[in-house]
Amino acid sequence: MARPLVFALARLPAEIERDLEARYEVVRDIEAAGEAEIALTAGNLGLSSDQMAQLPRLRLIAVNGVGVDAVDLVEARRHRIAVTTTPDVLSLAVAELALGLALSCARRVADGDRFIRLGHWAQGDSFTLGRSILNRRAGILGYGRIGRRLADLLRGMGMEVLYSARSEKPDAVDSYRPDAATLARDCDVLFVTAAGGADTRHLVDAQVLRELGSDGFLVNVARGPVVDGDALATALSDGTIAGAGLYVFDDEPHVPQALLDAPNCVLTPHIASATGDARRAMAQLVLDNIAAFVAGKPLPTPYTG
């Protein structure tokens, strides 16, 4: 019996990749994937309507990640193509990086590294004071799995946590704010964890940044377009906010020069889930979703947004 055909745009960790190839016929050229019922992709790669048109038998899009803004969901629904993601297993890794970016901004960790490497410390130069954030208020914009995991970490460190979401959550232990501007006004560090897509594009705009204020820090671990990049660059330059930590951008891997030039902005590549544990767990969940589809069983983590 022929093995199921999988069109793979993304690669998995080596040991899981071997398992994938042992179970399925894996092709990476879409020209050879016309009979594939399964597409394996990543959040940043997605699957376009043009690609779907070349896969007439497609019935499952398995995303290695939680972002689906690069998947044409309208086209997928129209053709009754199921979409799965890998929620929960990367929540701690993303929350951990968000916390690291906040601390690096406030305590000027990246600045201190450059200060030493350029010889300024040895020359007796003085280093500007940083700021403590652990005795201040954190605001979480987007109160899904990642936002709640981050809230747990922040509360554990003694911070008061506020949040904003589409609606107030009855089971939340944190304080609700009805919109991004109000949340920014009432917090000192604004963590952006909202889902990407048209509904949240530029959710953090110039007004929100003004409300955050000159002592406030912004950390974006959502999607680049959730924050208005031009407004952020201006806010960093003119002191509207104190600093920002970013690992997502509008046009990755291209980062605007204004952000590269901003000394009060800490940047990393798109690495929030880039730990061995998280990546293996994500890849295993991709395999579990594919296996369930092939067996005709319920999908473990279907995307239902």
Q: What is the DSSP string of 26-69?
A: EE--GGG-TT-SEEEEETTT-B-HHHHHT-TT--EEEEESS--T
Which stretches within the chain are classed as H helix? 14-23, 49-53, 73-78, 91-107, 109-117, 145-156, 180-186, 206-212, 229-238, 257-260, 276-295
Catalytic annotation present for 136: no
User: Is the domain of 43 the same as that of 96?
Assistant: no
Instruction: Please indicate whether residue 270 is annotated as part of the active site.
Output: yes
In a domain, 303, yes or no: no
| Residue 301, domain member (yes or no) | no
Q: Are residues 200 and 120 in the same domain?
A: yes
pLDDT exceeds 70 at position 195: yes
Domain residue limits at 42? 5-89+276-295
Q: Is residue 305 part of a domain?
A: no
Same domain, 44 and 138: no
Q: Choose, from 18, 28, 78, 252, the residue flagged as catalytic.
A: 252
Residue 302 domain-assigned (yes or no): no
- Other C-beta atoms within 10 Å of 178: how many? 11
Residue 168 lies in a domain: yes
Biggest CA-to-CA distance, the chain: 73
- On whether both 107 and 244 belong to a single domain, the answer is yes
Do 64 and 205 share a domain, yes or no? no
Degrees to nearest 5, angle at CA 159 with 100 and 161 = 100
Catalytic one of 35, 223, 279, 280: 223
% of the chain with per-residue pLDDT over 70: 100
Does residue 2 register a pLDDT over 90? no
pLDDT band for 41, please (50, 70, 90 cuts): very high
Please choose, from the candidates 9, 35, 147, 26, the residue with its C-alpha nearest in 3D space to the C-alpha of residue 88.
Answer: 147
Position 267 scores a pLDDT of 97
Confidence band of 53 (pLDDT split at 50, 70, 90): very high
Assess whether 213 and 106 both reside in one domain: yes
Q: Are residues 257 and 199 in the same domain?
A: yes
Residue 304 lies in a domain: no
- How many domains would you assign to the chain? 2
Summary mean pLDDT of the chain:
95
In a domain, 247, yes or no: yes
**What digits encode the pLDDT tens for the residues 122-153?**
999 999 899 999 989 999 999 999 999 999 99
For 86, counting Cβ atoms within 10 Å of its Cβ (0-12 exposed, 13-18 middle, 19+ buried), the class is buried
Q: What is the distance between the alpha carbons of residues 264 and 229, in angstroms, rounded to a whole number? A: 15
What do you get for the CA distance between the two ends of the chain, in Å? 36
**CATH code, domain with 255:** 3.40.50.720
Question: Do 214 and 118 belong together in one domain?
Answer: yes
* Residues 224 and 139 occupy one common structural domain: yes
Residue 164 lies in a domain: yes
Average pLDDT over residues 50-57: 97
3-class secondary structure per residue, 231-262: HHHHHHHHCCCCEEEECCCCECCECCHHHHCC
Looking at the structure, tell me whether residues 68 and 103 fall in a common domain: no
Give yes or no: residues 84 and 111 share one domain.
no
Residues 289 and 254 in one domain: no
